[in-house]
Structure 1
Amino acid sequence: MVAFASPLTLVAACGQVDNIPKPLTEKQSAVLMKELNGKVAGKPVNCISDFNGTNTIRVSDNILLYRVSGRLVYQNNLRSACSGLSRDDDIIVSEQFGSQKCKGDLIRLVDRTTGMTGGVCSLGEFVPYRSEKTTG
């Protein structure tokens, strides 16, 4: 008699592996430190406005930064690793509803040359990092 694992068991096993973030490389750590240096983490939010003209910065296969201004950056720890995200070669296509990026929204990686779709990943919470106001 041959036993097969249920599809749910296989998905759960894969999800557990993907949820373990790889340690950041020295270069990735430097990018993260540069963007968050002098800023203080705030309370995580589920959505951010897409009208701010945010600049997306790829830190690793798990971490995206959305720079709103020099004083405000949102860190998003993806719900699972997004293979190839850190290479910065592929185009990020957001699958969102309305004018906000929200926790659970999907992003797809699309090859710049061939147009083929790569990884599909889910956004996590957005942690705001703000520069402290200076009194003068």
Structure 2
Amino acid sequence: MDKFKLFTLVLSLTLVAACGKVDSTPKPLTEKQSAVLMKELSGKVAGTPVSCISDFSATNTIRVSDNILLYRVSGRLVYQNKLRSACSGLARDDDIMVSEQFGSQKCKGDIIRLVDQTSGMTGGVCSLGDFVPYRSEKTTDKSRFLR
């Protein structure tokens, strides 16, 4: 084997080994993040996860943590998305969130990039997971109509 090819191979393997394993384990929620999550999901019941949601109905995005996004459709419906891996810096809410999606839906596997508002440099990159709908239960309390 040519010395240059051997050197290139050894250098490549060394660089890969130096990178180490990326820890994609989500960090526990802070007290503030837990409060945001509880406020948005309180009184709502989780439904069956879906792969896509309409982009038009999910205009209000709430960044809970580096791996949890909420899409508020209305006061009664919120979709929770646990990203496939943590997106470093997402929770800071400083960067612009750019979605790479096809068509008029946000879908599992779509890419989100964080872009610094000042420099325009790309920061964290992550992929959406399933969307879990949380809906308010309908009340059938007839006493409110008797007043």
Question: What is the match of residue 94 of structure 1?
Answer: 99
Alignment of 1:45-124 (within 5 A): 45-124=50-129
Alignment deviations for residues 40-81 of structure 1 (CA, whole Å, 9 cap, x no partner): 000000000001152000000000000000000000000000
Alignment deviations for residues 11-62 of structure 1 (CA, whole Å, 9 cap, x no partner): 9932xx11x1100000000000000000000000000000115200000000
Long gaps (5+) in structure 1: none
**Distance of aligned partners of 1:6 and 1:113 in 2 relative to their CA distance in 1, 3 Å threshold:** closer
**Distance of aligned partners of 1:64 and 1:50 in 2 relative to their CA distance in 1, 3 Å threshold:** same
Question: How much is the aligned-residue C-alpha RMSD, in angstroms?
Answer: 2.3
Q: Distance between the aligned counterparts of 2:77 and 2:101, measured in 1? A: 22
| Identical residues among aligned pairs (%) | 79
Long gaps (5+) in structure 2: 1-9, 143-147
- Equivalent pairs, count: 132
Larger Rg: 2
Q: Distance between the aligned counterparts of 2:88 and 2:49, measured in 1? A: 24
Contact conserved, 2:58 with 2:71, CA < 8 A, in 1? no
Q: Distance between the aligned counterparts of 1:104 and 1:91, measured in 2? A: 19
Shift of 1:116: 1.0
Q: Distance between the aligned counterparts of 1:60 and 1:53, measured in 2? A: 18
Shift of 1:113: 1.2
TM-score (norm 1): 0.89
Q: Distance between the aligned counterparts of 2:96 and 2:70, measured in 1? A: 15
Runs of 4+ in 1 over 3 A off after TM superposition: 2-7, 9-13
TM-score (norm 2): 0.82
More helix by share: 2
